[in-house]
Amino acid sequence: MKRIVSLALTVLLACSLAPFADATQNKTKKTPPSDDSSTSNVPEAFPADADPSVVPQVTAGSVIVIDALNGKVLHEVNADAPRPVASTQKLLTALIIADEGNLEEPLRVEKTDTLAEPSKLYFKPGEVYPRRDLLQILLIHSMNDVARALARDNAGSIEAFATKMNAKAAQIGMSNSHFLNPNGLPVPGQYSTARDMGRLAMYAYRNRFIRSVVCQKKMAWRYNDGRVREFETTNRVLKNYPLCNGMKTGYTEAAGHCLVSSASHNGHDVIVVALGDNKNIWIDSYRLLAWGLLKE
């Protein structure tokens, strides 16, 4: 019976890869990657007769696969190598804001909040939004100006919030990380590891609010002037793989393509952290999630 279930799951996983290939084939022109985009190529489909005992070969510089329910490490490659992690560190920003609560309180945008590139919501000084809405759009579409606004509102300044980030990181066992801003834009001395990001992902996965947001594929945003714009998730694995239920993307030239992703099936939950993957971040993360779900 167990063999039948595993075979059925692998067939489902193979079929779910088709949208990745379609997305690549339909791309007609190349555009430079923004904070969280990727132009990754898509190789052959995950084989329907995949052997759970064989770990997929991936191109990411650092990888870890974790059982999200008990923290067991299922697979790792260079998991303790310090490296920039780009916008995936917004999970830490979000965890601090969500844990401290008062999400219905209004946040008034200040001019300093708008000083961030390249991914922006383009709100204006003086506009007012609920913290909850800003936290949602941060996790779904990853705007850097939103991260600055939430950090400044929470701690008074970016520098003070970075102190809180490092304190929170130490509290949850991220022993090989140092953060200097809330959005992951490059700055000397800021780094983490796949193992530490896996620990962060486990705490974020257990936060009810964050879990309810990172699984969303799109969000309608209403500006103060009444304009409404729909933003889609930056996570292509979430868009195309039915078993994926979050979490956070990231890209800078220094960090390469990064993705913290999660998936669940029949009570089995896995988290994959892939950092520094400049070729196949989406397919690599997909393959590792699929393998993790098949792993006994």
User: Taking residues 160-178, what's their average pLDDT?
Assistant: 98
Higher pLDDT residue, 108 or 101?
108
- Other CB atoms within a 10 A radius of the CB of residue 261 amount to 29
CB within 8 A of 10, min separation 6: which ones?
Answer: 46, 47, 48, 49, 50, 290, 294
Alpha carbon 270 to its chain centroid, in Å, reads 14
According to the model, what pLDDT value does residue 77 have? Answer: 97
Summarize pLDDT for 170-226 with one digit per residue, the tens.
999 999 999 999 999 999 999 999 999 999 999 999 999 999 999 999 999 999 999
Domains by residue range for the chain, with CATH: 2-294 (3.40.710.10)
CA dist 186 and 284 (Å) reads 24
CA dist 254 and 278 (Å) reads 11
CA dist 93 and 150 (Å) reads 8
CA dist 287 and 86 (Å) reads 22
Q: Where are the beta strands (DSSP E) in 96-243?
A: 106-108, 128-130, 218-222, 228-232
CA dist 206 and 171 (Å) reads 15
CB of 30 closer than 8 Å to CB of 160 = no
Bridge partners, residue 248, by sequence: 260
Does position 34 have pLDDT exceeding 80, yes or no? no
Lowest-confidence segment of 14-18, 20-24, 171-175, 179-183 by average pLDDT = 20-24
According to the model, what pLDDT value does residue 278 have? Answer: 80
Query: Are β-strands 268-275 and 62-67 bridged in parallel, bridged antiparallel, or unpaired?
Result: antiparallel
CA dist 24 and 59 (Å) reads 18
Bridge partners, residue 67, by sequence: 270
